[in-house]
């Protein structure tokens, strides 16, 4: 029998965009727990932020931080030594870390360099906890967690379309990448899809036969959605789906945020 693995974005997907609550998804979350289905958080959020929600969810599974920058695997989670199948994990606290993203210090240097070229950008590293809280709707404590970054730098861009083209060209020359969700994110050669592919490989080795589901709402989720058997896009707060998410076999969730998440997960799981 196939083992089911679920990957999920947080903001605007499992979490309500305004309240950061997953209450509307509780029926599906309870069902997942009863069936012992791994739920893998794959978010632009930091390790500290994701750990906060993992505790709330009582989630003990691997997770992916900062748009695929790092894969954190609890020690002894898999029944084999991942270092013997081509990966070089770092030991960090209670996890094995597979590092895919750029160094945060290098990204901060790039932000400063871009500003020197006249580009009007402001990263999380330039903001106070209060400023981050105001633009995100997070509490001050949550803003502190959002600022503890390892692999990517969220930023606000104040320019017009012509300046945006200049921004993209300069980032490309730096051999860096950019993705967009709620904010722009400056990052290295990593994305959610690359991280998800690695975990799929590990789960296949562990369980042999698996089916994969992923849920997201923004363009930065597209690389993740492309890698799974059942890709789901949920509606945004305006009731619409992001027009940039185009896949031939995309499943459109019936509902906004966690409500759509709940409906789609239950529907897919019952069909399987």
How many Å apart are CA 185 and CA 192, to the nearest integer?
A: 13
Distances (CA, A) of 211 to 4, 125, 200, 230: 5, 39, 9, 8
Other CB atoms within a 10 A radius of the CB of residue 177 amount to 18
How many Å apart are CA 198 and CA 126, to the nearest integer?
A: 33
Residue 108 phi/psi, 5-degree rounding, is -65, -40
DSSP-based three-state secondary structure for 148: coil
Is residue 9 annotated as a catalytic residue, yes or no? yes
Q: Given the residues 9, 191, 221, 242, select the one marked as catalytic.
A: 9
Structure tokens given for 121? 């950008």
Distances (CA, A) of 228 to 198, 212, 231, 268: 12, 5, 6, 13
Closest CA to 59 of 32, 95, 82: 32
Closest CA to 217 of 59, 63, 43, 57: 43
Contact yes or no for 194/223 (Cβ under 8 A): yes
Contact yes or no for 70/93 (Cβ under 8 A): no
Strands 177-180, 95-99: parallel, antiparallel or unpaired by DSSP? unpaired
Catalytic positions, written as ranges:
9
């Amino acid at each position: 029998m196939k083992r089911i693995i679920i990957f999920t974005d947080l903001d605007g997907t499992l979490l309500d965009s305004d309240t950061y609550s997953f209450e509307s998804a509780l029926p599906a979350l309870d069902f997942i727990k009863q069936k012992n289905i791994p739920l893998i958080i794959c978010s632009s959020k930091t390790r500290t932020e994701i750990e906060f929600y993992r505790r709330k969810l009582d989630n003990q599974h691997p997770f992916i931080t900062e748009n695929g920058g790092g894969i954190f695997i609890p020690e002894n989670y898999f029944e084999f030594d991942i270092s013997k199948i081509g990966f070089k994990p770092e030991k960090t606290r209670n996890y094995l870390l597979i590092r895919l993203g750029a160094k945060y210090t290098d990204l901060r240097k790039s932000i400063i360099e871009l500003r020197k070229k006249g580009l009007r950008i402001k990263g999380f590293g330039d903001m106070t906890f209060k400023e981050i809280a105001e633009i995100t709707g997070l509490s001050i404590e949550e803003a502190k967690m959002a600022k503890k970054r390892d692999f990517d730098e969220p930023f606000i861009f104040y320019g017009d379309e012509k300046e945006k083209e200049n921004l993209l060209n300069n980032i490309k020359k730096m051999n860096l990448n950019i993705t967009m969700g709620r904010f722009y994110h400056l990052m290295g050669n990593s994305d959610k899809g690359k991280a998800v592919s690695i975990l799929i490989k590990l789960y296949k080795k562990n369980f042999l036969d698996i089916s994969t589901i992923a849920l997201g709402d923004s363009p930065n989720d597209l690389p993740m959605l492309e890698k799974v058997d059942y890709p789901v896009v949920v509606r945004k707060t305006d009731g619409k789906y992001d027009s940039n998410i185009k896949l031939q076999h995309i499943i459109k969730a019936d509902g906004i945020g966690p409500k759509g998440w709940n409906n789609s997960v239950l529907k897919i799981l019952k069909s399987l």
